[in-house]
Structure 1
Amino acid sequence: MTPAIPLVLLGLVDAAFSGFRAYAGSDARIRRQRATARAALRGLAVGAFLLLAPTLTAALLLLTARDQARTYDILIAGGLGYLLPLTVYASTVLLLLAAYFTLPFRAGTLAMVIGLGPLTLLRPLVIAVACLGAVLNGGGTALLVGAIAGAAVLCVEPAVHRRWYRHVR
């Protein structure tokens, strides 16, 4: 199984959420569905562009490798090691979002404040753990691609905020 497709999907979903977070605190209007959708699409676009960096890095590593089959196997193993912590994190986020949308208002808000707030702050740590999983499972080559991917997803929110929402009050 190649972990590339689930990793790209997780990266793109994270980018959409990053676009939403870049906008969320900058506008006090209550009904803002179009603006939040636009912010998520902006995050998705920036994330798709930034995720080209690890994709191109992996492609260059494969094209310049002496033993392409071995390099491919290392990247696959590292990708699986990278995917495991991200899957646990994403599953927790999905569970909390499901609680937010299905539970009564107070309980759903509590799930959002107690769960999603700290999880947002833990994103860099989760990416560091994913990089550790990549290096333990695949080696240094996988760590290079994983670190570039981690940097790419962590740069989406600041890039969207700086480009579109810096002056919004």
Structure 2
Amino acid sequence: MTPALPLAALGLVDAAFSGFRAFAGTDAGIRKARAAVRSALRGLAVGAVLLLAPTLTAVLLLATAAHPDRTYAALAAGGRGDLLPLACFAAAVAVSLAGYLLLPFRAGTLAVVIGLGPLTLVRPLVIAAGCLGAVLNGGGAGSLLVGVPAAAAVLAVEPIVHRRWYAAKFTR
């Protein structure tokens, strides 16, 4: 199985959450479900555009490789190495989010405070661990050539969305 599809799915889901995080705290209104969905869709759109860079890099690597089969195998090995820490992180986020959504109010709030809060803070480290896992799993330089722009892309979504749509609220 190629790890490209799960990695792309994780990147796009992360981009949607990043769009929501860019919006969170900018609106004191009570009914803001539509705004939250709109912010997640903005993050998804920005993430989809930014994730084109590593996708095109992988395509160019494969198209220009002297041995495409070996290059594909190395990229797939790197992708599997990248996927392990990211999938573990995504599972931890899913458990914390499920606690928030399914538990009573106080317990759900606690799930956010002890789960989602710290997980958001360690997110860049997990993404870096994914790049390291790609190399250690045999992906080589090619996997870094694809993985580093992918890491930069997912880390850039939240600041881009915030600056583009929400920063103006604080300068008025």
TM norm structure 1: 0.98
Counterpart in 2 of 1:133? Answer: 133
* Correspondence 1:73-84 to 2 at 5 A: 73-84=73-84
Distance in 2 of aligned mates of 1:100 and 1:165: 25
Distance in 2 of aligned mates of 1:139 and 1:121: 28
* Correspondence 1:13-32 to 2 at 5 A: 13-32=13-32
| Structure 1 unmatched ranges of 5 or more | none
- Give, in angstroms, the shift of residue 31 of structure 1: 1.4
- Give, in angstroms, the shift of residue 140 of structure 1: 1.4
Identity among equivalent pairs (%): 70
Residue correspondences, number? 169
Counterpart in 2 of 1:150? Answer: 151
Quick one: which amino acid aligns to residue 8 of structure 1? Answer: A
Q: CA offsets per residue over residues 58-96 of structure 1, 9 Å max, x none?
A: 001111111111000000000000000000000000001
Determine if contact 1:74/1:139 at 8 Å carries over to the other structure.
yes
Q: Runs of 4+ in structure 1 displaced over 2 angstroms?
A: none
Distance in 2 of aligned mates of 1:11 and 1:96: 19
- Give, in angstroms, the shift of residue 142 of structure 1: 0.6
Distance in 2 of aligned mates of 1:101 and 1:78: 34
Distance in 2 of aligned mates of 1:118 and 1:30: 26
Distance in 2 of aligned mates of 1:100 and 1:146: 31
- Give, in angstroms, the shift of residue 139 of structure 1: 1.1
Distance in 1 of aligned mates of 2:100 and 2:26: 22
Matched residue SS, 1:87: helix
Determine if contact 1:27/1:168 at 8 Å carries over to the other structure.
no
